[in-house]
A = this chain, B = another copy of it.
């Protein structure tokens, strides 16, 4: 024991602080744009976008949660809201009565269609327009590397066997 802490190097520290700041400001910028132009949060936009890419604009709650990297509880609450807004509809599974399917409504698809261009423009303006093509690939590689680690750690919600 008594390993001494491997503190962050100067360069790591700078990268980390820049990342934290950038992440917060970027999220806020996207939220502000969507809230202003569509009365919708980025969180909800993401859900609608994921649904719109699914077959029949429909996904089971758990599948939706996984693609959104959100907890099931978070999704339940979010879908409650989106249902109230008339943008998503719930339907119980026909075969397995435990599952619930969330489906984009016409209105939901429409609002997404109208909102998407402004949102994409904001993502461009704030992120991709600031980066070279190389940097876009660098960013992807960095995120995918970290993602791999995070999902390896986290995916195993199924307990590690010891038999």
Contacts and interface: CB of A to CB of B under 8 A. Distances in A.
Interface residues of A, number: 55
A6 B144 CA distance: 24
A14 B7 CA distance: 32
Contacts of A12: 128, 136
A137 B15 contact: yes
Contacts of A8: 120, 123-124, 128
Interface of A: 5-8, 11-12, 14-16, 18-26, 29, 46, 69-70, 116-117, 120-121, 123-131, 133, 135-151, 153-154
26 contacts: A5-B117, A5-B120, A5-B121, A8-B120, A11-B133, A11-B140, A12-B128, A12-B136, A15-B139, A15-B143, A16-B123, A16-B127, A18-B144, A21-B143, A22-B143, A22-B146, A24-B70, A25-B154, A126-B149, A130-B146, A130-B148, A135-B141, A135-B142, A138-B138, A138-B139, A139-B142
